[in-house]
Chains A and B, each alone.
Chain A
Amino acid sequence: MTAIELATSNGTLMDDHGADAALAIRSMTVSYGQKPAVFSVDMTVPRGSMTAIIGPNGAGKSTLLKAALGVIKPLAGSATVFGQPVENARARIAYVPQRASVDWDFPTRVLDVVLMGLYRELGLLGRLRGTHKTRAMECLERVDMQDFAKRQIGQLSGGQQQRVFLARALAQNADLYFLDEPFSGVDAATEKAIINVLQGLRADGKTVVAVHHDLSTVPDYFDRVFLINTTRVAEGTVEEAFTPQTLQEAYGGRLAMGQLGQTALGT
Chain B
Amino acid sequence: MLWQALTLQLGYNATLVTLGATLLGVAAGVTGTFLFLRKRALVSDAISHATLPGVGLAFILMVAMGGDGRSLLGLMLGSAASAWIGLLCISALTRRTRLAEDAAIGAVLSVFFGIGIVFLTFIQTMSEGRQAGLEGFLLGSTAGMLYSDAVIIAVGGATVLLAVTAFRRPLSAVAFDPEFAASSGLNVPRLDLIMMGLVMAITVVGLKIVGLILIVALLIIPPVTARFWSERVTGVLWVAGIFGGVSGYLGAALSAIAPALPTGPVIVLVSFAMFALSLLFAPARGVLAAVLKHLSFQRRVHVRQGLLALAQGQPIYEKLTLRLLRRAGLVRADGVATSDGKARAAKALRDETRWQMARSREEFALAATFYDGLTEIETVLTGDQINELDRLIGAPKGVRP
State the A residues within 8 Å of B (CB).
Answer: 66, 69-71, 87, 90, 93, 95, 97, 101-103, 106-109, 112-113, 116-117, 119-120, 122, 124-125, 144, 152, 157, 159-160, 168, 172, 178, 187-189
Contacts and interface: CB of A to CB of B under 8 A. Distances in A.
A101 B177 contact: yes
B383 interface: no
A100 B223 CA distance: 24
A71 B176 CA distance: 15
B185 interface: yes
Sorting the interface of chain B by its residue count into under 10, 10 to 19, 20 to 34 or 35 or more gives: 20 to 34
Nearest to A144: B366
Nearest to A159: B369
A107 B233 CA distance: 6
B185 A109 contact: no
B172 to A, nearest CB: 8
Would you list the 9 A-B pairs with minimal beta carbon distance, nearest first?
A189-B365, A90-B185, A95-B183, A152-B231, A189-B366, A71-B182, A69-B183, A120-B184, A97-B179
Contacts of B176: 102-103, 106, 108, 113, 116
Interface stretch (B72-80, B162-170, B329-337): B162-170
A172 B236 contact: no
A124 B167 contact: yes
A124 B179 CA distance: 19
Contacts of A117: 184
Given A107-B230, A119-B169, A95 B184 contact: yes
Contacts of A116: 173, 176-177, 180
A157 B365 CA distance: 13
A106 B175 contact: yes
Contacts, number: 82
A107 B185 contact: no
Contact of B233 (A108, A119, A159, A172): A108
Interface in B195-243: 227, 230-233, 235-236
Given A66-B179, A93-B183, A95-B183, A112 B233 contact: yes
A87 B185 contact: yes
Given A102-B176, A122-B169, A152-B231, 10 more contacts: A87-B185, A90-B184, A93-B183, A95-B183, A109-B231, A113-B176, A120-B184, A124-B166, A124-B167, A189-B365
Contact of B232 (A69, A109, A120, A124): A109
A144 B166 CA distance: 33
B183 A106 contact: no
Given A90-B185, A144-B366, A101 B169 contact: no
Contact of A70 (B166, B175, B183, B230): B183
B235 A188 contact: no
A102 B231 contact: no
Contacts of A109: 231-232
B184 A97 contact: no
Contacts of A87: 185
B362 A188 contact: yes
B42 interface: no
B369 A107 contact: no
B235 to A, nearest CB: 7
A107 B231 contact: yes
B37 A107 contact: yes
